[in-house]
Amino acid sequence: MGELLLPGPFDDALASILRGLSAGRMLRVVNFHATPAYRREEYRRQVAAYADRFAPVTPANFDAAFDGTWADPRPGLMPVLFEGWRDNVDVMLPILEEFGFKGWFFVPSAFPGIGAQDQRAYADAHTLRLPRRDEYPGQRVALTWDEAGDAASRGHGFACHSRSHFDLQPDTPDDVLREEIHTAAAEMRAGLGQPAEIFCWLHGAEAGVNPRADAMLKDAGFRYLFSNFKVQRLA
């Protein structure tokens, strides 16, 4: 686990969170990483329970969920699938669709383009959590851009989780930032056939941790930054 980086004192961060909660500006997110088939029925029960209580947050209504103009009497829920695993498409996506939810895929943009024979080694080298059981022996473990584009065409959401699952630091040099932001944005556009407007760093660094990165995110066309405790508007 990486060190939690905040742009200021923790007390200031906590006060900001409490102000948002008091104003009713709350986005409910449930996080998944790999979603192996042996847990399929567990996931199905979990999502069925959510369907009784929550409405889906979709790319079409995301702004309303974020800015406090949400109109549905039920609170919105955003199921986030981190890291771009194949089993997110094979196992979790059909379950979410069965119960009317849209998945939100937070993908390190380089991962789908890694050759199948190298994906496990790439995952190990980039803090991508491989499932405990290998359910695809000898095959790819990452989703493909064709699968991602198909999911996007059916209304599911995508965010850029940097290019290489990168842990932003205050002193990250500009050439690395360009690779992790601009190159990643270009890969997401090419893979999905549409831009990704949401960005999320490994370990959820906030705006302000690295102002040069914040400026570059805006320049690359990202509108929102997901962090550990909040969603921040960039543009």
State pTM to two decimals.
0.91
pLDDT at 70: 87
- Confirm if 31 and 80 have CB atoms less than 8 A apart: yes
pLDDT at 67: 79
pLDDT at 25: 62
**Which run of H or of E encompasses 226?**
strand 224-226
pLDDT at 68: 75
pLDDT at 235: 75
To the nearest 10°, the Cα dihedral for 155, 161, 162, 164?
A: -110
Q: How far is CA 139 from CA 32, 120, 128, 211, in A?
A: 22, 10, 17, 40
Q: Give per-10-residue mean pLDDT for the chain (235 aa).
A: 64 63 72 97 98 96 86 94 98 98 98 98 96 95 98 97 98 98 98 95 95 98 92 88
CB-based contacts of 54, cutoff 8 Å, min separation 6: 28, 74, 75, 76, 77
Residue ranges covered by each domain of the chain: 10-233
CA distance 68 to 70: 6
pLDDT at 1: 46
Q: Give the closest residue to 176 by CA, choosing from 201, 144, 154, 195.
A: 201
CATH classification number, 10-233, choose in 1.20.140.10, 1.10.3720.10, 3.40.50.720, 3.20.20.370? 3.20.20.370
